[in-house]
Structure 1
Amino acid sequence: MDTFPDLGSLTDQELKDLIQQMTEEEIEVSYKRRILHGKIDILRAELVNRLRKRHEGGEDVISGSDVEKLTDILSGRVPGGEPN
């Protein structure tokens, strides 16, 4: 990670340039974030559709292993995670 410059040593123009650079970077990051959120929404919609079809077909939507994973998460026993 870049260190933040000593602001007192920058000229007015350097400060303006830095503001412009950071603003452009923020716009780019925001754009990428919106794209990622859109992709996540599409993936979630696909998963919901698949689960809905399974449910309509009479299959179990939630398995015993799903319940076990949820129990582990809620009790703080997540693999690779720190216990609460």
Structure 2
Amino acid sequence: MEDTFPDLGSLSDEELKAMIDRLTTEETEVSYRRRILHGQIDILRAELVSRLRRKHEDGEAVIGGSDVDRLTEILAGRAAGLRPAEQVEDGEGSATS
């Protein structure tokens, strides 16, 4: 915490208030950006669902090999950047390979 945060005891009340204001503003901006991204993701997903429904109605294959591969990755925990099950820490706290 020393690298990213100053010694709070050495700051004046005004410096603390300024830091609070700056971080509050930054958090508000990040939250706004996150809401925008979530909205864009929702719109894209809705479009994809609409296209898949049309394909299904037209008798086309809705699920392909790449979809199955992606699902396999998700179920294996690799989609979120998690390590494969073989590399999860064992009971002694060391990673196995």
Gaps of at least 5 residues in structure 2 are 86-97
Number of matched pairs? 82
The Cα offsets for residues 30-62 of structure 1, whole Å up to 9 and x where unpaired, read as 100111001001100110010000000001111
Question: In the alignment, what sits opposite 1:36?
Answer: 37
Gaps of at least 5 residues in structure 1 are none
Q: Percent identity?
A: 70
Judging changes above 3 Å, is the alpha-carbon distance between structure 1 residues 58 and 3 closer, same or farther for their aligned structure 2 residues? same
Structure 1 residue 74: Cα displacement: 2.5
Q: Return the TM-score normalized by structure 2.
A: 0.72
Question: In the alignment, what sits opposite 1:8?
Answer: 9
**Residue type at the aligned position of 2:37:** L
Q: Is 1:27 the counterpart of 2:49 in the alignment?
A: no
Between Structure 1 and Structure 2, which shows a larger proportion of helix residues? 1
CA RMSD of aligned residues (A): 2.2
Question: Aligned partners of 1:68 and 1:27: how far apart in 2?
Answer: 38
Structure 1 residue 66: Cα displacement: 2.1
Question: In the alignment, what sits opposite 1:56?
Answer: 57
Q: Return the TM-score normalized by structure 1.
A: 0.82
